[in-house]
């Protein structure tokens, strides 16, 4: 069996996912094909993973494929393809995503999922994923494509609507959602044996129901503790706690993400909100810089001291592969198309995040029904932007980029239409050849 990892220069993530596969008896004898356009980073990943492979008993085989000219060879015959690419990297493209909007007074925190940063990230990534899908249709048409790349809903939605490749989008935030909430509210005694239902869209899927091991609804106690938590000056996660107060439900992704998915918290006319909610502006560029420096240090230490023992992580990828290979069912929170209205009050062409069962026949999404109307309404403000961005990528019409930016909740609440259009034009110019030509 062959497992191909696209963007294997993302060494830490490649180590986690492929290391997880090496921990699985069903997967460890696989050929692990590493693909990247950066030869230096690819070699770093090979060095680490080869050491891990030997430490795990020497099972399987690692192959490396550098450059676009070797992409088909990397994909040929794969059963699973893991996607972890970053088109344009931190420098220059993430810098552009933050610095150009800042000139217009538009501030962001993460910029990888929604907002003008998320829109531009999707527009430069979709053409590359289109090429991946074309190659896969030729050399591994039956492979399952596991997408970990943001903006999740836009990229996974594109793959599912416009390519023949079986695709599921995966995010870490579902696994840790209720655990984080209960720990923050000093309710860790309720963790064991809890049951929960999470559904919505990526990074804004709602914890719709949570019960303890005896079936007792935990939301009344959760809600009774929210004000006390919000009163703590240095508390993090205040935006999501406010969601509980104002919309009745907690959601999956962090407050630094959700601060920019709406029109409520990052407002130039109300600068005091930044401090009140502990919103970290320009957070993603800081993370990128720290991760780049951190990896240099970690890699040097590994070369000197050897590779540390890998324990299987919470990432879904290896569990999905294992379920498909062995037929033993496994439940995930997956990003899939809203076919046959899995969530009945969201559009059918939307990419939704719902419970899915995985077995030897693939991914089986669960029908959830209707979300609470206020939760569906919040999701729709994001889905509008997602669908228009995909439309722009498919049609190459610049008007759809303008429209996506205009309808983005944060952008539209801060800037007028003429300014939005100028900002989009500047972003397109700054991205240069990282984007196709729009008309």
| pLDDT tens profile 79-119 | 999 999 999 999 999 999 999 999 999 999 999 999 999 99
Mean pLDDT value of segment 409-432: 98
Mean pLDDT value of segment 367-387: 98
Q: Among all chains, which residue has been given the structure tokens 């430490």?
A: 55
Active site residue 203: no
pLDDT tens per residue across span 220-267: 999 999 999 999 988 999 999 999 999 999 999 999 999 999 999 999
Picking from 358, 370, 360, 296, the residue whose alpha carbon sits closest to that of residue 327 is: 360
Q: What pLDDT is stored for residue 415 in this prediction?
A: 98
Query: Catalytic residue among 172, 364, 431, 439, which?
Result: 172
Q: What pLDDT is stored for residue 301 in this prediction?
A: 81
CB 196 within 8 A of CB 207: yes
DSSP 11-69: HHHHHHHHHHHHT-TTTTTSEEEEEES-HHHHHHHHHHHHHHHHHTTS-SEEEEEESGG
Mean pLDDT value of segment 409-423: 98
- In angstroms, the CA 310 to CA 23 distance is 8
Mean pLDDT value of segment 71-76: 98
The pTM (predicted TM-score) of the whole model is 0.97
Maximal C-alpha separation, the chain: 61
């Amino acid at each position: 069996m062959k497992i191909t990892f696209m963007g294997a220069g993302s060494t830490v993530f490649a180590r986690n996912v492929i290391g997880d596969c090496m921990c699985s008896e069903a997967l460890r004898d696989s050929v692990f094909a590493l693909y990247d356009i950066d030869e230096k980073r690819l070699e770093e990943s090979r060095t680490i993973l080869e050491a891990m492979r030997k430490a795990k008993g020497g099972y399987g085989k690692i192959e490396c494929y550098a450059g676009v000219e070797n992409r088909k060879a990397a994909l040929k015959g794969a059963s699973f393809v893991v996607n972890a690419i970053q088109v344009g990297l931190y420098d220059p493209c993430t810098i552009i995503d933050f610095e150009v909007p800042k000139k217009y007074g538009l501030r962001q925190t993460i910029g990888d999922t929604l907002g003008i940063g998320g829109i531009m990230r999707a527009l430069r990534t979709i053409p590359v994923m289109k090429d991946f899908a074309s190659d896969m249709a030729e050399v591994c048409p039956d492979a399952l494509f596991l997408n970990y790349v943001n903006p999740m809903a836009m990229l996974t939605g594109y793959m599912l609507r416009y390519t023949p490749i079986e695709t599921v989008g995966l995010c870490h935030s579902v696994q840790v959602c209720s655990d984080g909430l209960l720990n923050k509210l000093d309710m860790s005694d309720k963790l064991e044996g809890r049951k929960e239902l999470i559904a919505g869209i990526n990074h804004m899927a709602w914890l719709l129901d949570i019960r303890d091991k005896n079936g007792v609804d935990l939301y009344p106690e959760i809600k009774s503790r929210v004000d006390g938590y919000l009163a703590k000056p240095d508390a993090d996660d205040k935006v999501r706690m406010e969601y509980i107060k104002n919309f009745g439900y907690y959601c999956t992704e962090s407050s630094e993400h959700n601060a920019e998915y709406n029109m409520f918290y990052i407002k130039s006319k109300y600068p005091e909100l930044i401090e009140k909610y502990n919103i970290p502006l320009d957070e993603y560029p800081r993370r990128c810089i720290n991760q780049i420096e951190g990896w240099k240090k970690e890699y040097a230490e590994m070369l000197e001291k050897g590779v540390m023992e890998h324990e299987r992580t919470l990432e879904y990828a290896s569990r999905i592969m294992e379920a498909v290979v062995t037929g033993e069912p496994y439940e995930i929170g997956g990003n899939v198309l809203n076919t046959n209205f899995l969530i009945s009050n969201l559009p059918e062409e939307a990419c939704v995040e719902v419970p899915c069962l995985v077995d030897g026949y693939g991914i089986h999404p669960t029908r959830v029904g209707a979300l609470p109307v206020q939760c569906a309404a919040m999701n729709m403000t994001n889905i509008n932007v997602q669908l228009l961005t995909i439309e722009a990528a498919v049609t190459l019409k610049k008007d759809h980029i303008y429209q996506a930016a205009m309808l983005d909740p944060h952008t539209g609440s801060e800037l007028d239409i003429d300014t939005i259009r100028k900002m989009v034009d500047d972003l397109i110019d700054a991205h240069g050849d990282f984007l196709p030509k729009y008309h």
